Chains A and B, each alone.
Chain A
């Protein structure tokens, strides 16, 4: 009886060790596969987008040429619109393939200055906003407060995306406001625009991936709807929340709440 118990015990231990070994091996293989995928996307995106960039830039030069006849300008403008649409679609495919959330690891989290990150993201958005005759104003209430734990590259993508959207859908001479508030447990960054807004019945879907509000599609602005899906995944990983309030025709506010580094 004792021998049988001992045999079962050794057998169970062996089985558990085998399963653990198998899981470690699978995890290693998945990581290898993810690395290969990222490498493929990096190469494919370059090979695909380099010729598209050359065509876009050449058409951009041509459409601004004063010697172009009206008929020719109409055709060139149409070609330019089509090529930018192809670029946007290729971005969607490539970003989807590149989006590997298994690469988000707790060990990549660092202490970061959230205010500095928001400031850099705003500075980047300012130059595009100026070209659209809009402005971005920030209320830097975080100054001098404790850092937060975050993956700096991915979190920056979230703010870049929110600001880029806000500027993209804002009318001329409007203001995009970035406010930073905090309570005892969370830091909250809000990006508020005075743009086209999102229809009430479509609000739930904005973070679901590839969803673009019907009025955003009609606006003619380029976009895939993937950015907000990616933003939610990244904020979820950080243990935070991202929410959206909007009124069609009046504007939209996205709020990112992140655990404060206390």
Chain B
């Protein structure tokens, strides 16, 4: 099943716009947020199939958003962490809260990121 609603959370508005534009090409409705609190409010109002989460945000770390959403009733979105930070302990933290898609933004073009996230989302749906 293809995703209907996608949330992109990043405080860098340039990256946010580019990524939102690419994900919109999949046919899904894309919403954006630039802070953890704004993203939580959007999740309360809409069910998202996929949530792309930057880790360093102005109000709270992106992990707080993932934990807050996972504490809400199911179904939860498929989470993908996007980061520019090289930090092995963050990878471990992501795995610990059940997020296995961890992408270094600088190492991929936006089109590649869409392909990687959509592949893993579809694989998870099949499993």
Contacts and interface: CB of A to CB of B under 8 A. Distances in A.
The reply to whether chain A is a binding partner of chain B is yes
23 contacts: A41-B87, A42-B90, A45-B85, A45-B86, A46-B56, A46-B84, A53-B105, A57-B14, A60-B110, A60-B111, A87-B107, A91-B86, A98-B86, A98-B87, A123-B123, A124-B116, A126-B119, A127-B119, A130-B115, A130-B119, A131-B112, A153-B92, A154-B88
A123 B15 contact: no
Contact of B86 (A41, A60, A120, A127): A41
Interface of B: 12, 14-15, 18, 56, 83-92, 95, 100, 105-107, 109-112, 115-116, 119-120, 123
B36 to A, nearest CB: 16
Given A50-B12, A57-B18, A38 B89 contact: yes
Which interface class (under 10, 10 to 19, 20 to 34, 35 or more) fits A?
20 to 34
Nearest to B93: A153
Interface in A42-56: 42-43, 45-46, 49-50, 52-54, 56
Contacts of B106: 49, 52-53, 56, 87, 91
B26 to A, nearest CB: 14
A58 B109 CA distance: 9
Nearest to B113: A57
A126 B87 CA distance: 24
A156 to B, nearest CB: 8
B126 to A, nearest CB: 11
Interface of A: 38, 41-43, 45-46, 49-50, 52-54, 56-58, 60-61, 87, 91, 94-95, 98, 103, 120, 123-124, 126-128, 130-131, 152-154, 157
B107 A91 contact: yes
**Interface secondary structure of A, over-half rule:** helix
Contacts of B89: 38
B62 to A, nearest CB: 12
Given A42-B86, A123-B120, A58 B112 contact: no
A125 B59 CA distance: 34
A90 B119 CA distance: 28
Contact of A61 (B18, B84, B86): B18
Given A42-B90, A95-B86, A54 B14 contact: yes
Nearest to B14: A54
Contacts of B91: 153
Contacts of A91: 86, 106-107
Contacts of A54: 12, 14-15
